[in-house]
Structures are given as structure tokens and as C-alpha cells.
Structure 1
Amino acid sequence: MTKLTVTRIKSIKAPGRYVDGAGLMLNVTKSGSKSWVLRVQHHGRRRDFGLGSERDVTLSEARDEARRLCRMVRKGLDPLAERRKEASRNKTFRMAAVDYHSAHYKTWKNGKHRDQWINTLRSYAFPRIGDMTLDVIDGPMIVDVLSPIWLQKPETARRVKQRIGAVLDFAHARGWRASEAPMRAVAKGLPSQPKKTGRFKAMPYADVPRFVTKLREIESFGALALEALILTACRSGEIRGACWDEIDLDARLWTIPAGRMKAGRSHAIPLSAQALDLFKRAAALRIADTQLVFPGQKRGKALSDMTLLKILRDQGEPYTVHGFRSSFRDWAAECSDQPGEVAEAALAHTVPNAVEAAYRRTDFLERRRGLMNDWGYYVGQR
């Protein structure tokens, strides 16, 4: 059979496969595009490998690549696997980090976390190891990335460390790197960080009624949102994203969908008389073109977390917004006769014991209704 020539290749118009020899073929589609294909027998199975477009790969180059791949097959190697290895040798940490971020981006509910995840690597890791190939990154290099911020910015440094490890483990799983991240060695190469309590600074529950009284003097969606957060003991993101279609004023129930909950499960919050009154006040101020109960200044956008914190700071309070959940939990422990699991359910905490979680079928809704009524009455004291 006559081998292909450059002249003949240019003249071919009809779709089909045109054999050059030794398994190399020119594939012509109905649209007229032309590409190189190599057909080989590997472990008794016929396999085709694309060698690129005829516009980008010359006849001579296609033959050279076909001979190279055929030599691999004769040695018992898998050309596809070898190609992946070759590609991985040029894969940089920056490329792998972007791939990891793209693969996981949609699974992260918190939009702020989505952006922060890659931005911390851009700020601290990319300048040092971003353009290095994955196979050369070792423990000492990671230590060099973390050392300048390990003691000065401990929380940020820990996040950067975790994210570098995640990218390298991801690269190992994809076959781009021979080993997992050497994070155990990295930990040995860094000094101990100052200990932290790990708790959000919470207002003593005895001071909450006084604060809520002051809060009601402020006329803003931010103040309403902060009061709602206190009365429902929910998280900041849950209250700021609250929508009218989640709230049933007649049933006195607010049901937050699973997609907006930290644990990924829907959560029903019984509304006390005080909470119900608050949502009615918010309804009187409802903006027609948004479902948001507590809209921000930008049209269609929710309030920012900083809006709630600023209210606390403007009132001279040194506490955190999240700390009000601790205020509620302390009050429930000391002033309520409901058991701890009911208070934990009110906070939408998951059951830490896997066996208990598997057998528990109740969310204590009716018992939580009584608990939230008592809390609302307590908070509403003048």
C-alpha cells in the first residue's frame, strides 16, 4: 500500500481514514478537518491514540511520534499513562491549585470562603512555589512559604498550610505527583504557635435583654437582622440570607433550606412571640423587588457580615456576632429545664456520636418551641 505524501494529504477531500503504515492513519471528517491517529495492539486490545491536527503536526512529525509510541508498546508500556507522566512533569503548583479550586468550588456554600481559598494561595504560596513543578516541591520549600507568617499571622498561616497540603494530595491522586504532601515533616519544621481559646467572645446572657432594648432604638435592616439573629440563635449567614418564602408567619415557623445550612440539612426554627413580632416589623418595611427579609444597601444583595459587627462596635460592645449563639447556649444550660440535646438541636449542631446520630429520628421541634418561647420572653424583658 502506498504511503501518504504531503501532496496527497493536501488533495484528500473525502471523509475517511487513510493509512500511512505501521498503524499511522490520517482521519478526515465530514467537515474536512484532518487529524493523525495511531492504532496499536496493547495487551491484546486494539487502541487508538490521537496525535494532533494535521495543521499542527506535519507528516514527518506524526511518523516520528508514531514510532516513539510503538517503541513504548513493544516495551510493555502504556502510551496513555506515559503521556500523563510527561504532562505531569510540566504541571506547576499554580496550575494544580487552580484545578483543585475549580473542582471543589461549587461544593463550598460560603461564597466568601470560595474566594478566600484561592486568594490566600495567590498572596502567600504562589510567589514562592507557584511556578515550581509539582514533583520538586518538598517539606523545606513549604516551610519557607509559611515561616514569614507562621507567628505573625497564625490563623492565616494554618489555612495556607492546609490548602498547600490539599493541593499536593489532590495532585498525587491525579497522578501528577509521586507522593502525598509531606505535611508531617512541615509541622516538625515550624515553631509552636501561641495557643488560642478557639471561642467567640460572647456577651453574658444576663446583658442580652439590655442590649436588645438599645438595639430596638436603631431603625435599620441591620439592627432588625441582629435582633432576629439573637432571638432565633442562628448563624449570621443564615439570618442575612433569610427569604420571605422560608417564613410561615401563620405557623410561626422559619424553615432554612439545606443549601444554606452549615451541616447541609434543612433546619426549622420555631418563632417565639418576640421573633414573630420582629418579622412582622420587617414585613412592614419589605422591599417589593427582593425576597430578602433583610436586604443590604446594594439592590438585590444581602447585608454583609460586617454590617452586624459594626452595630455591636457602634454600641461599644466588644463581643462577636457569632457569640450570641454562646449567650443562648449558656442561658439554656443555666436557666432552662430543657436537656442539652434540645438546646444543641436549636443551634442546628450535628450529633457528634455517629451511633447516636444514626438512631436519632427527632429534631425536638415541639420541645424547641417551648425553649425558644422562653428565650424570646427572656430577651424581651425591659
Structure 2
Amino acid sequence: MPTNLDYRTTLNLKKHGRYTDSVTKGLQLLYKPSETKYWLLRFAFNGKRHELGIGPFPDLLPKEARQIAQEARTLIAKGENPLTSRLAQKTQRKALESKKITFRDFALTCIEDKQSEWSSDKHAAQWSYSLEQFAFPVIGDMALDEIDTDDILKILTPIWKSKTETASRLRGRLEWILAAACTRKLRDGMNPALWRGHLQTILPAPKKMMEVRHHPALAYRALPEFLIRLRNTEGVAALALEFAILNASRTGEVLGGLRSEVNGDIWTISANRMKARKEHRVPLTSRALEILAIAKAMDEGSQYLFSRNGKPLSNMAMPMLLRRLNKSVTVHGFRSTFRDWVSEETEHSPEVAEMALAHTIKNKVEAAYRRRDLLDRRRNLMQDWLDFCNSQQFNNVTTLLAA
């Protein structure tokens, strides 16, 4: 059966044998008992079958092997046998020169391979933007094994103080990419973007330079009154925001939510949409279920929990709504509002609150023992949260005196 032989799949092959690429016709990877992996092209010419050796993996990345294979197929279409053409020599030369691939080409390949790990497309966009903006102008056209510490400092020093958070994240990305190049034997020596024991001795520590900025949040005592305004606001964005608040959910979890994920009063978010890459069950209150029913009636044929004409809301739908309501807070900040309320107004345990927020347990020992998701206790917590959120709606009732 053909296989998409991208870098990750090719690297992780366990069984020796031949693997046919699903992208390029005739391209195969031969995984030998000697633990070597070799690209080759199987083709027919004048009624006979031939094989053209292309080069070893990982010296030749999948993208390069496919390009060479496609060039060979172009020659075949012209009536030339690539085995007796200059392509054989060109193939050998490319295999030798593959260790001289540029940082730009290798970095873009890394982003493509790593993208499957991310729960949001914005991570790939952030990686690409920071590299294109700051790194590629300096080292984009350099060979991987030519990059040294001075080159990394040329990238980081101009923005280390003015854009500390961006520079710190960029340094981590550069370290990861160059570490991947070392793993694939495309460069030797120390990683020039390494922080501990290396750049740490040259650049100021980011944590000592950056001001800690929290997501602006609404004080929990102001939330019930705000929800009255929100419930009087028409539109699917208002429904989505209230749903996010009542479930202490992240924006991406709500906007990407599918109706198929809801079963009864349980909303099960798949691991690939969670920040911690772990499936998360959310117990839904009566109001949360009512919101879903209203949203469904507004866009009956959609697969999403909240949508317009079958398409999910944009990432800016809820922030723009808050702006129209003159609230200088973020959607994410309502998670802090929820957490503050739990700590200051309830006797619910911190672990139940953290589980409701789907936070990762940093203590590995504790995480190993805490395997259950405390669903029943979280259901009680979210009901108490709903009761608190509804506490203001009766305060504006006027008592009518008999005439």
C-alpha cells in the first residue's frame, strides 16, 4: 500500500522492506537490514523494468527525492532512459550536495513536518513570520553547517531588548531547527542557538527583562451583570462567548467545536484540538445546552457548534464583540475570572478547578497518579459557576404593590 513518505514517517519506519511513495509515481524507499534507508525510482522503459538509485535518507529529504524522481520521469516521457543520461551523475552530485542545503529550505521543511503537532494553524504562521522577518535575511541562504554563534547573535541582538519575548521564542525555534539538522547529520559541532551554557553567557536572561503581562480579565463580581448585557446581545458570537465563559474554555476549543462532539450533556474535545494534546470532557449545564440548541437553530445544517452559513466563527468574532460592549478584557481572561471565583468564593479543590481548565500537570509524579478526569466533581463545580453567573438576573426585579 502506498505511503506518504514525509520526513517523520520515513524517519520512524520500523520494518525493513520496500515502501512506495503515494505522492510520486514509482518512487520507493528501501529500508535495508543494515538499517540504511535508500531512495530509488522504479520505471519501465522500452518494455523493461529498471531501478534508478537516487540517494540515501536522510541525506536526501523526501522533497528532494521526489524532485529528482520527477525529473527522471520527465526524461522518460521524452524517450530518454535516465540510467544512461546525465541524470545519473546529477543524482550522485545532489546526494553529495544535499548536506549543503540552505537554512531557509531546511527550516520550511521542519515547519511542515512539525505542523501536525500543533493544535492551531497560527503556530505555523508565527514560526514562519519570525523566521522570515528576522532570521532569513541573515542566514536564510547560508548552508546549515556554515552557521555559527556570531550569525545567531546578528539575528537576536538587535531585538533582544526591544522585542524580548519575540526574540526569546525565535531563539528557541532556531535552536530546534539546528538541533534537527544535527540529528540528521547535516551539520556538526555545538548548536550555536543553544541557551544553557552558551548564549546564556552572552545575552541577558529574558525573564529578567520581560514584564509579566496577564490577559486582561473581568473581576468575577462584575461577571453576573456583564452576562445580562451579553444575553441581551443578538448574534451567534454572543452565544459563543457565553458558552466559553460558562465552560471556562479556550477560544479555539469553542470555535472549532463540532456538534458531533456533544453526546447528551458531555462535550468531548478531541486531543488534537487541545493545548495539552489530551482528550478533554466538559460537563454541560442546562444553560450551555440551551445555548447549543439556539446556535443550531440559527445555522441548522452546520457541523460546527457556532457558525454562520456553515462556516465557523473567525478568531476575532468574540474579541470584536467585547470591543463593541466597551470591555477592555480578553476572551482568555474569563478563564482567570473563573479561577479567581473558585479560589475566593468556593470550597471546590484546586485540582478540580485545574482539571476544569484543562491545565497540564507539571509535576510528573502527580500527573502519573491523577489519571481520572474528576467528571462528577467538575459537574458540581460548573453548576455552582452557572448559579453564580445567574445570580444578578433576579436583582433587577421590581415588586408590584397592590393598588
TM-score bucket (shorter structure): 0.7 to 0.9
Q: CA deviation at 1:332?
A: 0.8
Equivalent-residue separation in structure 1 for 2:98 and 2:261 (angstroms):
49
1:295 — aligned with what? Answer: 307
Higher gyration radius (CA):
1
Counterparts in 2 of 1:54 and 1:278: CA distance versus 1, 3 Å? same
Counterparts in 2 of 1:126 and 1:225: CA distance versus 1, 3 Å? same
The answer to whether residue 198 in structure 2 is matched with residue 197 in structure 1 is: no
1:177 — aligned with what? Answer: 187
2:362 — aligned with what? Answer: 352
Superposed CA deviations along residues 32-64 of structure 1, whole A, max 9, x for unmatched, are 487888xxxxxxxxxxxxxx7322159xx79xx
Amino acid at match of 1:210: E
Equivalent-residue separation in structure 2 for 1:106 and 1:373 (angstroms):
36
Contact 1:168–1:180 (CA under 8 A) maintained in structure 2: no
Q: CA deviation at 1:83?
A: 8.4
Q: CA deviation at 1:104?
A: 1.2
Counterparts in 2 of 1:54 and 1:219: CA distance versus 1, 3 Å? same
Counterparts in 2 of 1:175 and 1:28: CA distance versus 1, 3 Å? closer
Structure 2 counterpart of 1:278, from 291, 297, 304 = 291
Counterparts in 2 of 1:300 and 1:138: CA distance versus 1, 3 Å? farther
Q: How does 1:1-382 map to 2 (within 5 A)?
A: 30-32=44-46, 53-56=83-86, 86-88=97-99, 90-182=100-192, 183-184=194-195, 185-191=198-204, 193=206, 194-248=209-263, 251-285=264-298, 287-296=299-308, 299-382=309-392
Q: CA deviation at 1:107?
A: 2.2
Amino acid at match of 2:301: D
Q: Structure 2 unaligned segments of length 5 or more: list them.
A: 1-40, 54-81, 393-403
Equivalent-residue separation in structure 2 for 1:231 and 1:87 (angstroms):
54
Counterparts in 2 of 1:282 and 1:179: CA distance versus 1, 3 Å? same
Q: CA deviation at 1:365?
A: 0.7
Please report the TM-score for the alignment, with normalisation by the length of structure 1: 0.76
Counterparts in 2 of 1:95 and 1:380: CA distance versus 1, 3 Å? same
Most deviating of 226-235 and 139-148: 139-148
Counterparts in 2 of 1:201 and 1:36: CA distance versus 1, 3 Å? closer
Equivalent-residue separation in structure 2 for 1:350 and 1:202 (angstroms):
21
Most deviating of 146-155 and 309-318: 146-155
Superposed CA deviations along residues 274-320 of structure 1, whole A, max 9, x for unmatched, are 222222222331x2332111115xx5432222221122222222222
Contact 2:42–2:52 (CA under 8 A) maintained in structure 1: no
SS at match of 1:164: helix
Counterparts in 2 of 1:198 and 1:179: CA distance versus 1, 3 Å? farther
Equivalent-residue separation in structure 1 for 2:335 and 2:363 (angstroms):
22
Counterparts in 2 of 1:34 and 1:351: CA distance versus 1, 3 Å? closer
Q: CA deviation at 1:347?
A: 0.8
Equivalent-residue separation in structure 1 for 2:97 and 2:258 (angstroms):
51
Equivalent-residue separation in structure 2 for 1:217 and 1:94 (angstroms):
51
Q: CA deviation at 1:241?
A: 1.0
Contact 2:44–2:50 (CA under 8 A) maintained in structure 1: no
SS at match of 1:53: helix
Contact 2:296–2:305 (CA under 8 A) maintained in structure 1: yes
Please report the TM-score for the alignment, with normalisation by the length of structure 2: 0.72
Equivalent-residue separation in structure 1 for 2:222 and 2:285 (angstroms):
20
Amino acid at match of 1:341: E
Equivalent-residue separation in structure 1 for 2:87 and 2:294 (angstroms):
70
Contact 1:165–1:181 (CA under 8 A) maintained in structure 2: yes
SS at match of 1:255: strand
Counterparts in 2 of 1:152 and 1:306: CA distance versus 1, 3 Å? farther
Counterparts in 2 of 1:292 and 1:83: CA distance versus 1, 3 Å? closer
Counterparts in 2 of 1:202 and 1:57: CA distance versus 1, 3 Å? closer
Number of corresponding residues: 320
Equivalent-residue separation in structure 2 for 1:314 and 1:192 (angstroms):
39
Superposed CA deviations along residues 109-129 of structure 1, whole A, max 9, x for unmatched, are 211112221222112111111
RMSD over aligned CA atoms reads 2.9
Counterparts in 2 of 1:300 and 1:189: CA distance versus 1, 3 Å? farther
